Structure 1
Amino acid sequence: MLQAIGLTSAPRHDRPPFVEDLTFEAPSGCVTALLGAPGSGKTTALRLMLEIEAGRGVTYFKGRPLHRIGHPAREVGVLLGDVPGHPARTARGQLRMLCAAAGVPASRADELLEVVGLAGLGDQRIGTLSAGMDRRLGLASALLGDPHTLVLDEPAEGLSPRERSWLHGLLRAHAAEGGTVLHAISDPREAAHAADRVITIDGGRLVADQDVREFARTRLRPRVAVRTPHAARLAAVVSREARAARRSVEVVAEGGARLSVYGSSCAEVGDAAYRHGVPVHQLADETGDAGPPAVPAADPDGGPRRIVPPGPASTVAISQLPPPITVRPARGPLRPLRYELRRLFGVRTTALILAGVLAVSAGISVLLARTGGTPLPRLLAAWPDLLPLPPAAFAAGLLGALCFGDEFRYPALAAGRGTVPRRLGLLVAKLLVSGGVAVLLAGLSVLANAEALRLVYGGDLVTVPVNAPQMTASWLGLSIGCAWAGLLGAGVFRLALAGVAAVLAVPVLVLPLVQRLLAGPSVRSVAGLPGRLRELGWLQWPNEADRWAMAAVRVVTQPVGLALSLSLAALVCAYAFTGLRGRARW
C-alpha cells in the first residue's frame, strides 16, 4: 500500500504552493489513477512522494518512507518522462547498465525485454526508438528490481490506442499479483477505463477519492458529438425541440463547427437536423467529462468521504503539517565498477576514440621520425612541440571527461532528479576504470608507434633506452593524470567540455607557472628523501625500494608532473567542496 499524507510543495516567488495538504491512499492489488488537468499538480505530487522536490508531508511505501528503504529500486519502480539514456546505447545495454546500478543479475534485462515486447529490438539504439517503444523501455527500467510499487507519470502519453491497451493490461497484471500501481493521468475517460480507483485533484488539492464505478457515475455521462458547418443553427433547433417536448437536453458549443449534446441520442439529433435541412458531417456517441463531482463519494471503509472543492489556499498552518520533505541525494549504483564498465563500453564512442588515437599517433610518429632530431621518447609518444599534449594523453583526458559528462547529460542514475550521485563508490569506480583505460591506451599507442616506425624505417630506429622504467612511469603517470583531470573537471562543473578544458589547462596554464617558479635559484634539494622517510618508525620498506621511491619523486618533481599533481589536488578539493555543499543543501 502507498500512503501519501499532507503533501505540500514549497511556495515559489510568493505564489501559493502547487500542491497543498494532499492526502490519499493507493491500495495494493489495484490500479490507482491520479487524475487532473495539466497544471493541476500531478507531477509535483509524484516528485514530493519520491523525495525529489522539497516540501512537507510524508509518503509511506508498505509502511516505510523512501529514504528508509535500503534498496529503493527493488521496492519502488519509477517512470518520470522519457528514458534518460544515451541515444547511441542499445536497449539491452541500457537495461544491463541499470541492472548493475540496481544490483540485480544482467539476465534480468533479457527477461524484461521479453515482458515489454522488445525482445527482437534489444540491439536497437535508444535514439531510434519510437514513442511507444521508448515507453516500453521505460517500463522495463522501472520493473528491473521487481518492485512492489509502480509510480508512473503519464505513461500512456503519445501512445496509439493499441499500445495504450497493452500498457493498461501490463499495469493490471502487476496489480493482480499484489502490487501497487499509481499513475498520473489527464483524460477522465482513460482513467475510468484503466484504473480501479481514481484520485482527482485540482489546484494541487484533493477533489475526490472514488471507486471507478462511482467515478464514472458522477464524473462521466454520455453525449452526442456533432460536427456541422451550421453549429449555432443546429444548437438552437435542438434546444427548441427539447423545450417543446419537455426533455432535459443541454447543448454545449465546443468551438468551431463542433457541438456536444447531453441528454439526447444520435437518432433524435439526426432527425432534428434532417427536418430543418441542417447538414451534418459527424454524428457519434461519446462519453464526456461532467466536471468535478457535486456529491460526496462513498469511502471504502463505509463512511462518507469529504470532497474538497477547488478554491483558495487552505488556512491550515504549514507548521501543523507533517515533517518537511528533504531532497536527498540520489542513490549510487550498488555495483559501481560493473556499472561504470558497462556505461563506458556500452557506446561506440570509446572504441572510436581508441582507434582514432592509435591511427593519429602512428601517423604523427612517422612524420616526426622523417624530419630527424626528435628524441626517442617523443617519437614513441607522438608528441611534437606544436601540441600541448600527446594524442594518447589527450584522448585519456577526453574519455575521463566523458565519464561524468555523459552521466550528467543522460542521468540514468537519477531519473527525474536532475543530478548525479557523488558517492565515494561511484567516484572510485570511475577513477579505476578511467585510469585503467588510460594505461591501456598509453601502452597500445607506444606499441603502435614503435611498430609503425619499424615498418617504415626499419628496426634500428627503435631501441630500449637505459632509463626505460622511469620513462614508462612518466608516460603512464601523464596518461592517468590527464584521465583523472578530465574526470574531476567534468564532475565539478557537470560538463564534459569543462573536463577537457581542465586537461588542456595543465600544459597551457599551470605548466608555464610551475616552470617560472622552478627557474629561480634553489638552495635545497630532495636528495636523500627516501632515507629520511625510512627514519620514521612507522614506515619501513626494503633497501632496494629506495631506487623506485626516488624515481617516483623525480617523476613528480618534473615540471609536467608537478603541474599535473597541483591540478589534480585542486580538482579533488573542488570536487569535495561541491559534494559537501550539495549535501548541506539537501
Structure 2
Amino acid sequence: MIQAVGLTSAPRGELPPAVDDLTFEARPGHITVLLGGAGAGKTTALRLILQLERGRGVALFRGRPLHRIPNPARELGVLLGDAPADPSRTARTHLRMLSAAAGVPPTRADDVLDLVGLSGLADQRLGEFSRGMDRRLGLAAALIGDPHTLVLDEPADGVSRREAAWMHDLLRGYAAQGGAVLTTSRDAKESARLADRVVTVGEGRLVADQEAADFARTRLRPRVAVRSPQADRLATLLVDESQRADHAADPVVARVIEVVRESGTRLAVYGSSCAAVGEAAYRHGILVHQLADEVGDTGPVTPLERADGRPSGPAAGTPATPALSADALPAPVPRPMVRVLQAARAAIAPKGSDTVSDTLTLPVVAATVPAARPARSSAPAVEKLAIPRLPAPGPAWPLRYELRRTLSDRAGLLAAAASVLLSLGLALLLARHGEAPMSRVLMGWPRELPFPPAALGAGLLGALAFGQEFRYPALAAERGTVPRRLGLLIAKLLVSGAAALLLGLFVLVADEAGVRSLFGPQAAVSITEWPLLAAGWMGLLICCAWAGVLAAGVFRSTATGLAAVLAVPVVVLPLVQSAVAEPAARSLVGLPGRLGSSALYRWPSGIDQGVTVVMRLVTQPVGSAMALSLTLLVCAYALTMFRGWAR
C-alpha cells in the first residue's frame, strides 16, 4: 500500500513546480493508474515517492517511509523506463545477481523468468532483447524480491498491443493476490480497461480521483468514427440535419450533435449512431471509407479553485482523497506470491470482449453521455507458490552479489586477460635484453613505465566494480541510484582485492613460464629478497584495486576511477618525493629490534623479518604515495556517504 500526502516538487526557478500538493493512495489488491498527458507530472510524482526528487510531502509504504525499510527490494518493485542492465550479461546471470542483492535464493531468478515468459531466453544476452522482451525483463527484476508493491512508469509504452494486453493481465493477476500496483498512463481508454482506480493529474495537481466505473462514465462516451474524402461536406450536413430534426421535434430543447475533425479525412461524431451517419451520407451521395462505433475520451477536467487562488483538489462531484496517517493503516496484507501458469504466458492476444477501440483519438471538451464500463478480459490463471518464507538478508548477501557481478562482468575478465598478456610481452622483452633485474622481469615492469600493466589492470578491475553500477544502476532500482552502503563497499574491497591477488599470481606464473620456455631454465635466476618482492607486488596490486573502487564510487565513473590510479605515480609520487627528503628524521635501521625489546611479551620467531619488510615497503616513495592516495579517497567516500544519508 502506498500513501502519498502533499507531494510537491522543488521549485524550478520562475516556473511552477512539476508536482504541486498531490495526495492519493494505492490500495492493496487494486491497480491505481496516474493518468495525464505529457508534462502532467506523473513521472515526477513517482520519483518523489521513491525519493529520487527533491521536494516536500510524505510517501508511506504500509506505514513506513522508504528510508525506514531495511530491504526495499522486499517491499516494492520498480520499473522506471528501460531495464538498467548490462547488455553483455544474460538474463539469468542478471537476475541471479539481483537476487543476491535482494537476499533471496538464486532459484528465484528462474521463477520470475518463467513468470514473465522468458525462461526459454534465459541464456540470451540482454543486448539482443527486443523492446517487449526488455519490458518483461524489467518486470522480472521488479518481482525478484517478492515485493508487496509495484511502481511502474508506463510499462506498456512502445510495445505491441499483444504485449500490452499480456502485461495488463499479469498486473491484474498480481493485484488479485493482494499486491498494490501503481502505474502511469497517457491513454484514458487504456486506464479505463486496466485500472481499479484512476487518479487524473494535470499540470502537477490532482484533477480527479475516481473509481474505474465512475471514470469511464464521466470521461469516456460513445462516438462514431467516419473516414471520407468529403469529410467537410459530411460534417456540415450532419450538423444541419441534426439542428432541423431537433427543432422540429422540440423547438425549446434542441440537442445538437457534436462533430470533431481529427484529420483531413477523419471525423468523430458524438451524439449520433452509425445508422444515422450512414443514411445521411447515402442520401447526399457522399463516399464513406470507414464507419465504426468507438468510445472516445472527453478530455481533461478543469480542477477546482482553492481559497488561495491555486487550483487543486479533485474535480467537481469527485470525492477528495481523505487525509492519511500512519495510525489509520490497515493490517499488512499477505505477501503476493504470484506465478502465472504456462497457459497464461501464451495468452497474449488482444481482448476480444473489449468494447473500447484501440484507435487513438484527440481530446474533445464537451458534455458527456454516460457510457458503460468497458468489459475486461479475465485475469490470467494464477496460483500461490508453496515457497518457504524468504530469509532476511545477512552480511553475506553483499559479498555474494559482488561475486556474481564480478564473475559475470565480461569487461573485467577482458581487462585481466589483457593485463596478463601485456605483462608477458614486456617480460619477454626485458629478458631478451638481459639488462633489467629479475624482479622487474617477472613483474613485466620496465623502468620507463610509472606502473606495471598488472597494477593498471588491478585498478581497472576496482574501477569497474563501482563504475558499472553507475552505468547500469540495476542494484537499487527502487531508488534509481547506487547505494553507498558500508556493507557494499566492504564487499567490493574484498572481491577486488582478491581479484588483484589472483591477477598478480597469474602474472608472475605466466612471466616466469614464458621466460623459461623461450630462454631456458637458466634465464630465470633466483631472487634473494623474494619475501619483500612478493609483499610489495601484492600490496601494490591490492592498493591499486582499492584506489579504483573508492575513486569510482566517489566520482561515479570507471574512467575517473582509472584516472585516480594513474594519478598516483604521475602526480602524487613526485609530490611525495619532493616533500620527503632521502635522509629520514630518524634511521629505521634496528627498529624491529627496538620494538621487540620494548614489548611486554617476547615476539615469536620471524616477526622481526616481517616487520622489517613492512617498514621497508611503507618507507618506499610508491608505498607512501599509495597510502596517501587511499587515505584521501577514503575520506572523500565517507563524505559522499554522509551527504547521501543527510538527504
Aligned-partner Cα distance in 2 for 1:213–1:243: 32
**Residue 394 of structure 1: how far off its partner (Å):** 1.0
- Residue 521 of structure 2 aligns to a residue whose secondary structure is coil
Closer/same/farther in 2, CA of residues 531 and 190 from structure 1, 3 Å limit? same
- Residue 492 of structure 1 aligns to a residue whose secondary structure is helix
Closer/same/farther in 2, CA of residues 63 and 419 from structure 1, 3 Å limit? closer
Q: Which residue, out of 554, 557, 565, partners 1:492?
A: 554
What does the per-residue CA deviation read over 1:327-368, in whole Å, with 9 as the maximum and x for residues that have no partner?
A: xxxx99981111111112212222222222222222221122
CA contact (8 A) 1:4 1:58 kept: yes
Q: Give the match for residue 244 of structure 2.
A: 244
Aligned-partner Cα distance in 1 for 2:152–2:500: 41
Q: Give the match for residue 287 of structure 1.
A: 295
**Residue 543 of structure 1: how far off its partner (Å):** 4.8
Q: Give the match for residue 303 of structure 1.
A: none
**Residue 60 of structure 1: how far off its partner (Å):** 2.7
Structure 1 position 109 matched with structure 2 position 171: no
Aligned-partner Cα distance in 2 for 1:339–1:333: 11
Closer/same/farther in 2, CA of residues 570 and 361 from structure 1, 3 Å limit? same
Q: Give the match for residue 168 of structure 1.
A: 168
Structure 1 position 339 matched with structure 2 position 401: yes
- Which amino acid letter does the alignment assign opposite residue 313 of structure 1? R
- Residue 612 of structure 2 aligns to a residue whose secondary structure is helix
- Which amino acid letter does the alignment assign opposite residue 402 of structure 1? L
CA contact (8 A) 1:332 1:422 kept: no
**Residue 541 of structure 1: how far off its partner (Å):** 4.3
Bigger drift between 173-182 and 220-229 goes to 220-229
Q: Give the match for residue 533 of structure 2.
A: 471
**Residue 572 of structure 1: how far off its partner (Å):** 1.6
CA contact (8 A) 2:76 2:478 kept: no
**Residue 420 of structure 1: how far off its partner (Å):** 1.8
- Residue 522 of structure 2 aligns to a residue whose secondary structure is coil
Closer/same/farther in 2, CA of residues 15 and 433 from structure 1, 3 Å limit? same
**Residue 417 of structure 1: how far off its partner (Å):** 4.2
Bigger drift between 541-550 and 495-504 goes to 541-550
Closer/same/farther in 2, CA of residues 281 and 567 from structure 1, 3 Å limit? same
Closer/same/farther in 2, CA of residues 541 and 80 from structure 1, 3 Å limit? farther
Q: Give the match for residue 275 of structure 1.
A: 283
**Residue 440 of structure 1: how far off its partner (Å):** 0.2
Aligned-partner Cα distance in 2 for 1:539–1:501: 45
Structure 1 position 457 matched with structure 2 position 465: no
Q: Give the match for residue 230 of structure 1.
A: 230
Q: Give the match for residue 252 of structure 2.
A: none
Aligned-partner Cα distance in 2 for 1:128–1:10: 39
Bigger drift between 112-121 and 66-75 goes to 66-75
CA contact (8 A) 1:533 1:539 kept: no
- Which amino acid letter does the alignment assign opposite residue 138 of structure 2? G
Q: Give the match for residue 476 of structure 2.
A: 414
Q: TM-score, normalised by structure 2?
A: 0.82
Closer/same/farther in 2, CA of residues 18 and 312 from structure 1, 3 Å limit? farther
Q: Which residue, out of 443, 446, 450, partners 1:381?
A: 443
Bigger drift between 62-71 and 357-366 goes to 62-71
**Residue 518 of structure 1: how far off its partner (Å):** 4.5
CA contact (8 A) 2:20 2:205 kept: yes
Structure 1 position 259 matched with structure 2 position 282: no
Bigger drift between 439-448 and 494-503 goes to 494-503
Q: Give the match for residue 32 of structure 1.
A: 32
Aligned-partner Cα distance in 2 for 1:451–1:50: 55
Q: Give the match for residue 361 of structure 2.
A: none
CA contact (8 A) 2:22 2:204 kept: yes
Q: Map of 1:353-364 to 2, 5 A cutoff?
A: 353-364=415-426
Q: Give the match for residue 313 of structure 1.
A: 310
Q: Map of 1:109-258 to 2, 5 A cutoff?
A: 109-246=109-246, 248-258=256-266
**Residue 530 of structure 1: how far off its partner (Å):** 3.1
Q: Give the match for residue 554 of structure 1.
A: 616
CA contact (8 A) 1:226 1:284 kept: yes
Closer/same/farther in 2, CA of residues 567 and 332 from structure 1, 3 Å limit? farther
Q: Which residue, out of 492, 505, 508, partners 2:570?
A: 508
Aligned-partner Cα distance in 1 for 2:62–2:405: 33
Aligned-partner Cα distance in 2 for 1:314–1:511: 63
- Residue 488 of structure 1 aligns to a residue whose secondary structure is helix
**Residue 293 of structure 1: how far off its partner (Å):** 5.2
Aligned-partner Cα distance in 1 for 2:463–2:206: 46
- Residue 415 of structure 1 aligns to a residue whose secondary structure is coil
Q: Give the match for residue 94 of structure 2.
A: 94
Closer/same/farther in 2, CA of residues 422 and 332 from structure 1, 3 Å limit? farther
Q: Give the match for residue 70 of structure 1.
A: 70
Aligned-partner Cα distance in 2 for 1:135–1:434: 32
Aligned-partner Cα distance in 2 for 1:30–1:540: 72
CA contact (8 A) 2:77 2:478 kept: no
CA contact (8 A) 2:78 2:142 kept: yes
Closer/same/farther in 2, CA of residues 409 and 541 from structure 1, 3 Å limit? farther
Q: Give the match for residue 328 of structure 1.
A: none
Closer/same/farther in 2, CA of residues 467 and 165 from structure 1, 3 Å limit? same
Closer/same/farther in 2, CA of residues 570 and 532 from structure 1, 3 Å limit? farther
Q: Give the match for residue 526 of structure 1.
A: 588
Aligned-partner Cα distance in 1 for 2:274–2:511: 82
Closer/same/farther in 2, CA of residues 309 and 133 from structure 1, 3 Å limit? farther
- Residue 245 of structure 1 aligns to a residue whose secondary structure is helix
Q: TM-score, normalised by structure 1?
A: 0.90
Closer/same/farther in 2, CA of residues 211 and 581 from structure 1, 3 Å limit? closer
Aligned-partner Cα distance in 2 for 1:536–1:172: 74
- Which amino acid letter does the alignment assign opposite residue 609 of structure 2? R
What does the per-residue CA deviation read over 1:36-85, in whole Å, with 9 as the maximum and x for residues that have no partner?
A: 11211111222222222232222232233323322221121211111111
Bigger drift between 209-218 and 131-140 goes to 209-218
**Residue 249 of structure 1: how far off its partner (Å):** 1.2
Bigger drift between 115-124 and 462-471 goes to 462-471
Structure 1 position 483 matched with structure 2 position 545: yes
Q: Map of 1:38-49 to 2, 5 A cutoff?
A: 38-49=38-49
- Which amino acid letter does the alignment assign opposite residue 348 of structure 1? R
Q: Give the match for residue 298 of structure 1.
A: none
Aligned-partner Cα distance in 1 for 2:268–2:92: 47
Closer/same/farther in 2, CA of residues 108 and 194 from structure 1, 3 Å limit? same
CA contact (8 A) 2:239 2:256 kept: no
What does the per-residue CA deviation read over 1:507-534, in whole Å, with 9 as the maximum and x for residues that have no partner?
A: 2222223333455544521223334445
- Which amino acid letter does the alignment assign opposite residue 514 of structure 2? A
Aligned-partner Cα distance in 2 for 1:80–1:349: 26
**Residue 198 of structure 1: how far off its partner (Å):** 1.3
Aligned-partner Cα distance in 1 for 2:297–2:26: 23
- Residue 413 of structure 2 aligns to a residue whose secondary structure is helix
Aligned-partner Cα distance in 2 for 1:506–1:275: 88
Aligned-partner Cα distance in 2 for 1:105–1:62: 25
Q: Map of 1:290-305 to 2, 5 A cutoff?
A: 290-292=298-300
Aligned-partner Cα distance in 1 for 2:85–2:598: 52
CA contact (8 A) 1:18 1:41 kept: yes
Q: Give the match for residue 423 of structure 1.
A: 485
Aligned-partner Cα distance in 1 for 2:462–2:42: 39
Bigger drift between 531-540 and 177-186 goes to 531-540
Closer/same/farther in 2, CA of residues 539 and 111 from structure 1, 3 Å limit? farther
**Residue 6 of structure 1: how far off its partner (Å):** 2.1
**Residue 422 of structure 1: how far off its partner (Å):** 1.3
Closer/same/farther in 2, CA of residues 49 and 361 from structure 1, 3 Å limit? same
| Unpaired runs of at least 5, structure 2 | 247-254, 314-322, 326-392
Aligned-partner Cα distance in 1 for 2:642–2:2: 33
Aligned-partner Cα distance in 1 for 2:57–2:476: 22
Aligned-partner Cα distance in 1 for 2:30–2:643: 42
